[in-house]
Amino acid sequence: MATRVRGAVALGIAGAVLLASGCTPGGDGGEGPAPTEDSGALAEFTSQEFAWGACEEGGSDVECAVYEVPMDYGDLGGERIEIAVKRLPASGNDRLGSLLINPGGPGGSGYDRVDVAAYGVSEDVRERFDVVGFDPRGVGRSSPLTCFDAEEIDDFLGVEVADGASDDIADAAELVESSQEFVEACEDNAPDLMRHMGTADVARDMDVLRALVGDERLTYLGSSYGTHIGAQYADQFPERVRALVLDGAVDPAQSPLDMGVEQATGFETALRAFVADCLNRADCPLGGPGTSVDEGVAALDDFLEGAAERPLANSADDREVNRARAELGVLAALYTESWWPSVREALTAAMEDGDGTGLVLLGDDLYGRTDTEEYENSTAALIAVNCSDSPSPRDVGEYAEAAEEAGEESPVFGPMLAWGSLPCAYWPEDAVAEGGELTAAGADPIMVVGTTRDSATPYAWSEALAEQLESGFLVTRDGDGHTGYRMGDACVDAMVDDYLIDLAVPEDGMACA
């Protein structure tokens, strides 16, 4: 899943800044090392039996179940939460085990991802593995975290700094207030769950799942934020790693604001690729023959500035299409080339006719707003995980400084990417892990896949994670869009498949054109 962005602000990798988390306990579940299956401390959880049955959605070829995990791994006898699981059984007779998957977020549904396994996982892999997806704790069907209601989320995502994308603290007063209100709502509605949403606990939940599906070692495919789950797993349970593919990686060693600034570079690269493609088409609203990419980007920035002053029309509902909501729609283009035509069409309607309906609906797709005007809980999960995984500054001035730096890298989107982590300034300190590098010392080889012009997770992050992991090796896709596997590159697909099935390890740094 791509990162999401909160109005004029990015909130973590599918919409924002995918903040990194560390392997040490903090707000992630008690003191001391994680209980292990072998120690017997988790026997009550790892000995559960799945009652696989028909799913409410997804077709007749999938099965669904739930299992329980402790909310707090430091208190195994305390409150439990349920994790929802979906399985597509292997299509062949020579089954190797289960392939656990996660599409990213934070807040993305691995449960739903199974329904599109035919697109996300090759036929060869599906023949040999059950494809198993789960909603991480606090997400979707797994004891979901709820902070704001739908109307409050509408307002929250529509907040922007006063002049659209400012590095001035004075312009961010409404953003500060909305960030504080969000955290207060989490405290009111789910004070315990919000303190146990970190990726270290998600990795522990995944190890319970590995035991329940009967695999001695884990085979895993994680994309975007899902790479963080995989890296956390390997760091905590290196001896249980069979094969991990970490596609479109995040760098867990960076601080949240550093990641925001660096992510601005990725979005700027992707934006320029989108604009260059647009300018070569007759229906491009950003310019005509002879228009340079710089001029096209400037035209987009002028349009967004105009939306901040004069909101666009919206025939879908009564939400004001200000710069914040217009930005969400444009950002949809930066996750995958397949969305470029839709964003181009929406921009044409907005820039030529003043109709922002298409842009606001594209933003809804990013944030899981449904036709019934409800939201998936991905926004709450996104913020909670990001804020739990790594320390963030408590001084608003540091966000303003980061916004200025990010604006130098990406004038259009940079400031809002930096401001996007502001709710973390108010997150309970007892819920925050220490952060840091993940080395997974002693694990078998781990594949990291990086795409050179990835918008949401810059290629440098994949390079960094492959370097940090003691057994990491990098596979490079030269291309646009977010993530590399099953994105049209037969070379990358073949290397991933050979690794998952046969544990074949290509030369480190192997690139695919």
Contact 27, 428 (CB under 8 A): yes
Helix, strand and coil content of the chain, in percent to the nearest 5, comes to 45, 15, 40
> Catalytic: which of 21, 224, 392, 462?
224
CA distance 168 to 166: 5
- Element housing 416 (H / E): helix 414-419
**For residue 256, is the peptide bond before it cis, meaning its omega torsion is within 30 degrees of 0?**
no
Contact 240, 265 (CB under 8 A): no
Q: What are the distances in angstroms from CA 335 to CA 5, 118, 483?
A: 12, 20, 9
Contact 230, 222 (CB under 8 A): yes
Residue 385: CB atoms within 10 A of its CB come to 30
Q: What are the distances in angstroms from CA 224 to CA 74, 191, 320?
A: 28, 27, 31
Structure tokens at 170: 């004075």
Active site annotation includes 454: yes
CA distance 223 to 484: 9
Q: What are the distances in angstroms from CA 380 to CA 181, 237, 436?
A: 13, 28, 24
Structure tokens at 235: 């760091």
> Catalytic: which of 455, 482, 489, 497?
482
Structure tokens at 213: 């599906």
> Catalytic: which of 28, 389, 454, 489?
454
- β partners of residue 269: none
Per-residue buried b or exposed e for 335-360, using 16+ beta carbons within 10 Å of the residue's own CB: bbbebbebbbebbbbbbeeebbbbbb
CA distance 187 to 450: 37
Just list the catalytic residues.
Answer: 224, 454, 482
